[in-house]
């Protein structure tokens, strides 16, 4: 298989999906009474690493957009995929900032916890929508998949 620059995006995209899904799971488990202390650190680190990997994946996606063979029928879905990716990164960045605030100030309860839960829900919804559009680009339009 010949390496193409646009192959980096689909290889990287699984990191933010996995890290952020696990971070959301840790956040959900932390809602339980008597949740272990380590879940808070796990949530934070999974969120922060997931957010960084989401930004890296977005950058690789923009590179792929410039270097992959174009399929004109897919342009509308590609534009939606890109817009969703920007929103996904923005929401998880806001959540990451709120998480830093919660950890540094010790205010990880009440309204701050509720805001975090809301941002987790919105972020996961955007992440899934972004992934679904990406899947449609590959499996529906064959974007980046060359004929042999």
List pLDDT tens digits, range 19-64.
999 999 999 999 888 999 999 999 999 999 999 999 999 999 999 9
Contact 29, 43 (CB under 8 A): no
User: Cα(first)–Cα(last) distance of the chain, in Å?
Assistant: 10
Cβ of 108: how many Cβ atoms within 10 Å? Answer: 17
User: Rounded to whole angstroms, how far apart are CA atoms 95 and 106?
Assistant: 16
Closest CA to 59 of 38, 85, 29: 85
pLDDT band of 108, cuts 50, 70, 90: confident
The pTM (predicted TM-score) of the whole model is: 0.92
Q: Do residues 140 and 95 touch, judged by C-beta distance below 8 A?
A: no
Retrieve residue 105's tokens: 């100030």
What is the Cα–Cα distance from 89 to 46, expressed in whole angstroms? 14
Q: Is the pLDDT of residue 94 over 80?
A: yes
Enumerate the domain spans of the chain: 5-140
Sequence-distant (6+) residues with CB within 8 A of 58 are: 85, 86, 89
């Amino acid at each position: 298989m010949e390496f193409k620059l646009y192959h980096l995006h689909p290889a990287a995209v699984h990191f933010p999906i996995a890290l952020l899904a696990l971070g959301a799971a840790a956040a959900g488990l932390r809602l339980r009474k008597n949740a272990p202390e380590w879940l808070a650190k796990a949530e934070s680190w999974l969120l922060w690493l997931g957010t960084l990997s989401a930004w890296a994946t977005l950058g690789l996606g923009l590179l792929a957009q410039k270097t992959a063979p174009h399929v004109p029928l897919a342009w509308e879905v590609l534009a939606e995929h890109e817009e969703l990716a920007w929103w996904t990164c923005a929401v998880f960045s806001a959540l990451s900032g709120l998480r830093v605030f919660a950890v540094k100030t010790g205010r990880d309860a009440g309204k701050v916890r509720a805001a975090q839960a809301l941002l987790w829900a919105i972020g996961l919804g955007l992440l899934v929508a972004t992934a679904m559009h990406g899947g449609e680009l590959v499996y529906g339009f064959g974007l980046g998949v060359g004929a042999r």
